[in-house]
Structure 1
Amino acid sequence: MTFSIVGQVGDGFGVAVASKFPFVGAVVPQARLGVGAVATQAMARVGYRSVALDALAAGASADEAVVACTSSDDEREHRQLGVVGVDSQATYTGGSCMDWAGGVSGRESTGGYAIQGNILTGPEVVAAMEAAWLGSAGASLTDRLIEALLAGDAAGGDSRGRQGAALYAVLPGAGYDHCGVLADLRVDDHADAPRELARLLRLNDLVFGGPELVLPWSGESDEPHAPSEPVTLADEVGRRLARLGHHGEVTQALASWAGEANYEMRLAPDGIDSKVLAALRDATRTPNLT
Structure 2
Amino acid sequence: AVGSVVPWAKAGVGAVATQAWANLSYGPNGLDLLEQGLPAEEVVHRLVDTDDNRDHRQLGVVDTHGNAAAWTGNACFKWAGHRSGNGYTCQGNILTSESVVAAIAESYEHSLGPFPERMLAALEAGLRQGGDSRGQQSAAIYVVKEKGSYGGYLDRYIDLRVDDHPTPIGELKKLLEMHRLYFGTTDHSNLTRAAGNVAKEIQETLRTLGYYHGEVDGVFDPATKEAFRKFCSIENFEERWRDDEFVDREILQFMRTRFGKP
Give 3-state SS (helix, strand or coil) of 1:38's partner: strand
Change in CA separation of 1:101 and 1:215 when aligned onto 2, cut-off 3 Å: same
* Counterpart position of 1:160: 134
Structure with the largest fraction of helix: 2
Distance, in Å, in 1 between the alignment partners of 2:111 and 2:63 is: 20
Q: Is the 8 A contact 2:108 2:119 kept in 1?
A: yes
Once the two structures are superposed, the pairs formed by residues 11-160 of structure 1 within 5 Å of their partners are: 23-87=1-65, 88-107=67-86, 112-137=87-112, 139-160=113-134
Unaligned runs of 5+ in 1: 1-22, 220-230
| Structure possessing the higher radius of gyration over alpha carbons | 2
Aligned to 2:151: 177
Q: Structure 1 residues 165 and 133, CA, compared in 2 at 3 Å: closer, same or farther?
A: same
Give me the whole-angstrom Cα distance separating, in 1, the residues matched to 2:128 and 2:205. Answer: 39
Secondary structure of residue in 2 paired with 1:252: helix
* Residue 210 (structure 2) pairs with residue 245 (structure 1): yes
Label 1:56 to 1:127 Cα distance change in 2 as closer, same or farther (>3 A): same
Tell whether 2:190 aligns with 1:214.
yes
Whether the 8 Å CA contact 2:141–2:158 is kept in 1: the answer is: yes
Alignment of 1:197-276 (within 5 A): 197-212=172-187, 213-217=189-193, 232-247=197-212, 249=221, 250-270=224-244, 271-276=246-251
What is the TM-score of this pair, normalised by structure 1? 0.79
The answer to whether the Cα contact below 8 Å between 1:214 and 1:268 also exists between their aligned partners in 2 is no
Unaligned ranges ≥5, structure 2: 215-220
Q: Which amino acid aligns with 2:75?
A: S
Distance change >3 Å, CA 241–CA 163, structure 1 → 2: same
Count how many residue pairs are aligned between Structure 1 and Structure 2: 249
Task: Determine which structure has greater relative contact order: mean sequence separation of CA pairs < 8 Å that are 6+ residues apart, divided by chain length.
Answer: 1
Code of the aligned partner of 1:133: Y
How much is the aligned-residue C-alpha RMSD, in angstroms?
1.9
Q: Are 2:192 and 2:249, in contact at CA under 8 Å, matched by a contact in 1?
A: no
C-alpha distance in 1, partners of 2:76/2:64?
Answer: 28
Partner SS, residue 239 of structure 2: helix
One-letter amino acid matched to 2:166: A
Query: How far apart are 1:281 and its partner, in Å?
Result: 1.7
Q: Helix, strand or coil: the match of 2:234? A: helix
* CA-CA distance at 1:273 after TM superposition: 2.5
Give the TM-score normalised by structure 2.
Answer: 0.87
Q: Distance in 2 between matches of 1:210 and 1:28?
A: 28
- State the 1:209 CA deviation: 2.0
Q: Could you tell me whether the CA contact under 8 Å between 2:151 and 2:239 is conserved in 1?
A: no
Distance 1:262 1:161 in 2: 35
Equivalent in the alignment of 2:217: none
**Structure 2: which amino acid aligns with 1:237?**
I
Classify the secondary structure of the residue corresponding to 2:119.
helix
Secondary structure (helix, strand or coil) at the match of 1:264 reads: coil
Query: Which amino acid letter does the alignment assign opposite residue 199 of structure 2?
Result: A
CA shift at 1:276, angstroms? 2.3
Contact preservation (8 Å) 1:33, 1:170: yes
Q: 1:151 to 1:242 in 2, by over 3 A?
A: farther
CA distance in 2, matches of 1:133, 1:272: 34
Which structure has greater strand proportion? 1
CA distance in 2, matches of 1:116, 1:199: 24
Identity of aligned residues (%): 41
Name the CA distance, whole Å, in 2 between partners of 1:275 and 1:132: 29
The amino acid that maps onto 2:162 is: V
CA apart distance, 1:115: 0.9
Q: Quote the Cα distance in structure 2 between the aligned partners of 1:275 and 1:150.
A: 26
